[in-house]
Structure 1
């Protein structure tokens, strides 16, 4: 029910997310300064300040909620409200898991866990906007407002390619081969 209300009025999600990002940045500001995240966690590479999260997270939320609404309106049977909600929660839990693995310095497990969406894409559609939004929100506290978008985009593209190739492409090829044999 709440997901349907959010699809109808995006501000029900965007305003609380923006407030939380703002509170997090204020807390950082008054406790040692706003964090800057460096690419590949190396200070000799360019840094990205958490200040950007005030722009990127609300904007991305707007875009992904709009896309979810469009997909739901286009085909309510394959992209139902429950699938949007479950995808968001699944992405959120996965994002929090990745954040915890990073915070507890379990990089050896993290290096495998971050790739989980790729094999899962053989069975489930993990490349949907709700999943990406949940994943990014789950990573935002630990990684700021830019790096999660890049990480999530790469994972979504990989998952989409796996889903398309194995769930759509291979059956089509096998069908054509079967037709040419008979």
Structure 2
């Protein structure tokens, strides 16, 4: 499971995640999902490609395929309708490449593109995040911590303490904006 926390600040965006990987009820050994692919920078459950930062929670194989897909296609703009069309294309790609049908897809994400951040999901939900948000099993703890003033790292730390499906090393990315 996962916790990824996002906060918009005056001059930058901050996004942080835990590193625990679980398969069902089994906790996997801690590892950092890194890649030797120079076009994709991975930070555990977050990755950056062509100026876009994405953090994801959900089924690991679907998130891995999202990373591959993003090297070929990203939303054309940082508008909600563009992200919805990109999601539709990704879900078709996922269905074509695997046995996953739309009812078996399970992923949620936070996308930072240019000067905006959006929540997205396999239900084609897309919403702009104005101040802060979190996804994953530890999201409620992280949102509560940020509501009380915590930064993203502290919010993930709180989720790691209280959610049995969150844990491990905390990774953080800072993205400057105007």
Calculate the TM-score normalised by the size of structure 2.
Answer: 0.26
- The higher relative CO (CA closer than 8 Å, separation ≥ 6) is in 2
Q: Which has the higher strand share?
A: 2
Query: Structure 1 or 2: larger helix share?
Result: 1
- Tell me which structure has the larger Cα radius of gyration: 1
